[in-house]
Structure 1
Amino acid sequence: MTAVDYGPRRPAVPRYSVTRRQREALLWIARGRTAQQAGRRMGISLNTVNSLLAGLYRKLGASTGPHAVALAMARGLIAPADIEPPHARHSALQSPPGPRNPTGA
């Protein structure tokens, strides 16, 4: 029996050419903003945001915003620290207030 040559192998780890704007749009979605809100914050139209996200979803193999966020995080394209607003990280480090004394003493 002879070996079959299937041609060159694909790399084990796919490469993503995610643009800066695609990543920015995804981060707004990850922060719970709508595409329209992301467009306002980015200074671009809703159609442009949808086009950026559609291209990104194709690259990642995602079908929804949350799916794209999960895949991007799993692949190291975004980190949890990228999603949290800076004030959320600082408030998490503060200790909660102690118990109140109901007698006022």
Structure 2
Amino acid sequence: MEALQMEIAIRSAPVSAMRCAVRPLSKGQLIQRLGDFAERGNLEKGLAALTEYVGASHYLLARYDLSQDHNLDFVVCSDWPFDMVKRLAKCLSDLHSRSNEMEKCLSVMQPVFMSLPADIEPARGLARDYCAITFNVGRTRLSLMLLFPQDVILSQESLRDVGLLTAYFASFSQDREMRSDREFELTERELECLFWIAEGKTSDEIAVILGISRNTINNYITSVMRKTATKTRSEAIAYAVRNNLV
């Protein structure tokens, strides 16, 4: 009987260790600290506090609308090893291009675990999986990607809390390293074209309505889809409705 109890204790010990990580802060303390960091414009410390709260080890805050460019402009703030970020850029771009607008909508605030590409070797002690939580700040879609130790199991509930808190923190933070949205905002003409597309008008019909050429209309529509990271007019309309643009 004693031997059986000892065997059960040995088997259950690692699982207990993985699941019973002690949080350094309560949720209330974390929120108060995030408020202080937001006022000071300290994005890095805020993300570090969120990462520590959930039991992860490294954070990467990324802009999905920039991930398609195959460069590092998508990185807002990160403490991931540089080589890993550089190799992850193409992976994110490919993932973004394969997702339709409906899938992007459904993924918001849903923690997703994904494996690192085979050519990326994490540092010793880190899991090969990472967790991504997608959220919107205004018209910008961001993703918080977390690396975590091999012996840690991240709580889904805590991850959703962190996703929500990160969204609020990013929206209020005045950190200078956060890139401006201005170059990605739609112009008045682009919004007009988007409105008429949503009304079911063709490029020829919009050209007549606005009194400009069909080619110019198509150029505006192409620009709209590039800025909203959509691939079809239907996806652009869905994006516009979701973000109250039409």
Same fold (TM over 0.5): yes
Aligned partner of 1:9 in structure 2 is 77
TM-score (norm 1): 0.62
Runs of 5+ consecutive residues of structure 2 not aligned to the other structure: 1-56, 61-74, 79-135, 141-180
What's the offset of the Cα at 1:61? Answer: 1.1
Structure-to-structure mapping, 1:64-83, within 5 angstroms: 64-78=232-246
Provide Cα deviations, 1:50-71, integer angstroms capped at 9, x if missing partner.
0000000001111111110101
Provide Cα deviations, 1:45-93, integer angstroms capped at 9, x if missing partner.
0010000000000011111111101011111222xxxxxxxxxxxxxxx
Q: Report the identity percentage.
A: 31
Of 177, 184, 188, the residue aligned with 1:20 is 188
Q: State the AA in 1 paired with 2:77.
A: R
What's the offset of the Cα at 1:9? Answer: 2.4
Q: State the AA in 1 paired with 2:237.
A: V
What is the SS of the residue equivalent to 1:9? strand
* Root-mean-square deviation (Å): 2.3
What is the SS of the residue equivalent to 2:77? coil
Structure-to-structure mapping, 1:42-61, within 5 angstroms: 42-61=210-229
Of 63, 71, 74, the residue aligned with 2:231 is 63
Aligned partner of 1:102 in structure 2 is none
Distance 1:29 1:57 in 2: 12
What's the offset of the Cα at 1:41? Answer: 0.4
How many positions carry a matched residue from both structures? 75
Q: Which has the higher contact order (CA 8 A, sep 6+)?
A: 1
What's the offset of the Cα at 1:26? Answer: 1.1
What's the offset of the Cα at 1:8? Answer: 4.2
| Structure 1 runs (4+) greater than 2 angstroms displaced | 3-10
Distance 1:60 1:36 in 2: 22
Aligned partner of 1:32 in structure 2 is 200
Q: State the AA in 2 paired with 1:75.
A: N
TM-score (norm 2): 0.28
Higher strand share: 2
Runs of 5+ consecutive residues of structure 1 not aligned to the other structure: 79-105
